[in-house]
Structure 1
Amino acid sequence: MSVEPGSVRPGGRTARVRAAVLDAAGDALAEHGFAQLDLADIARRADVGKTTVYRRWGTVTNLVADLLLDMAEQSVSRADTGTLLGDLTANAHLVQRTLTDPRQGPLFKAIIAAAISDPRTAQALRHFYETRINEWAPCVTLAIERGEVPEDTDPHEVIRAVSAPLYYRLLVTGEDLDEAAADRAAQAAATAARAGTYHRSHS
């Protein structure tokens, strides 16, 4: 069975090489954006042989896809505060800190911009967010079990509703993306969930 470049999870020295290359790719994305990415430059930054990078990933798109896979797997686990609002607030603060980080913020902007025109990057980005939403969805499932929200609440829709206004500020309005904005996003999602807004579609 053939395997796409960058899709095998290695161990030992290969793992260290992968980590160094992905870190260098993230730095380059944050500094210059997707359009300026160059495998040779990334190899130089990572102090890795150019042939190794070309053989393992083949293209910039494959490398960015692997970077997103690694980011999804390394992300912080969900909170369990005992209340829906507490959990959603923790999620909102995590998103806010990530998007305002001097490296992570520009990195996400570059990847989102690339995903608009590159199908492989778009697919990898969707996988990244699906992974994160699946990680946090049990917060809503637990809230259903506690009776905080209606039984037919869609956990995934609630989690999406938390981060959506934060990304809107990052990508569209440029307004301050502070903890107060995160708190409002969490409060709005929790209030809407309790009101039954995010019921499952039965179509």
Structure 2
Amino acid sequence: MNARPPHGSARPGGRTARTRAAVLAAAYDALGAESFSALTLDKLAERSGVHVSTIRRRWRTVEGVVVDLLAERSSTLSTPDSGDFRRDLHELARSIGDFNNALRNRNLIQGLVAAAAYDPRGEEILRDTFVGRIDERAPIVRHAIDRGELPADTDAKDVIAALAAPFYYRVLILRGPIDARLVRTSAEAVYQAARAGVFRRENEAPGP
């Protein structure tokens, strides 16, 4: 796998964009019918109508395709900004829950985690992907700090990571569905903890 986006993936139009769209759509469809371990470049070529040599040249491996697909699918997650921290956390939790309840997305995440277990490059890409998702949603917390809803030294990234963690424990460890109770309790627990100062940076927190 390559940590950089697949060759040509940033171009807004033309044959490169059409090829990328076809291959990613084929991968997403395939993950709705079978697990990541069953996915091959030959199957992607057959589903997408794109020659396997083209797929191999641009993505190198199935993992490379799936990394690009995860980046595309993750962009559908909302970053709410209602002006109320509690409401924003609950909305983000619902968005994370909906994303992970889709079979294709679950297979996508599980496949990447499995690949990362034996491929150092996959481990780095998986970590960078989730760090990026946390960074994108950290403004929810920073805006709450600006409004005076949270302590000024609250670590925004820790708050978002704590919100997401129960969902991935449910999906990757327990292998169970995400229900309304998990969405509600995850959001509410993080809200109460953040308000209480649990996520304040240790190097700035006052002594006892």
TM-score bracket relative to the smaller structure: 0.7 to 0.9
- Give, in whole Å, the separation in 2 of the partners of 1:7 and 1:200: 39
Query: Aligned-residue CA RMSD in angstroms?
Result: 2.2
Shift in Å, 1:88: 0.7
- Counting matched residue pairs gives 200
Structure 2 length as normaliser, TM-score? 0.86
Describe the superposition over 1:109-131 as per-residue Cα deviations: whole angstroms up to 9, x where unpaired.
Answer: 22222222222222222222122
What percentage of aligned pairs have identical amino acids? 41
Query: What residue ranges of structure 1 are gaps of 5+ in the alignment?
Result: none
CA contact (8 A) 1:31 1:106 kept: no
- Give, in whole Å, the separation in 2 of the partners of 1:150 and 1:55: 49
- Give, in whole Å, the separation in 2 of the partners of 1:71 and 1:130: 15
Equivalent residue, structure 1, for 2:55: 53
Query: What residue ranges of structure 2 are gaps of 5+ in the alignment?
Result: none
Equivalent residue, structure 2, for 1:115: 116
CA contact (8 A) 2:36 2:107 kept: no
Structure 1 length as normaliser, TM-score? 0.88
Instruction: Write out aligned runs for 1:32-43 (5 A).
Output: 32-43=34-45
Structure 2 vs 1, CA of residues 31 and 202 (structure 1 numbering), >3 Å: closer, same or farther?
farther
Instruction: Write out aligned runs for 1:110-149 (5 A).
Output: 110-149=111-150
Structure 2 residue 2 is matched with structure 1 residue 6: no
Greater CA drift, 111-120 or 38-47: 111-120
- Give, in whole Å, the separation in 1 of the partners of 2:44 and 2:173: 30
Q: Which has the higher helix share?
A: 1
Describe the superposition over 1:113-162 as per-residue Cα deviations: whole angstroms up to 9, x where unpaired.
Answer: 22222222222222221222112111111111111111110000001111
Shift in Å, 1:47: 1.1
Shift in Å, 1:45: 0.6
Describe the superposition over 1:9-35 as per-residue Cα deviations: whole angstroms up to 9, x where unpaired.
Answer: 233121011011112223334543333
Q: Which runs of 4+ in 1 moved over 4 A?
A: none
CA contact (8 A) 1:95 1:163 kept: yes
Shift in Å, 1:195: 0.7
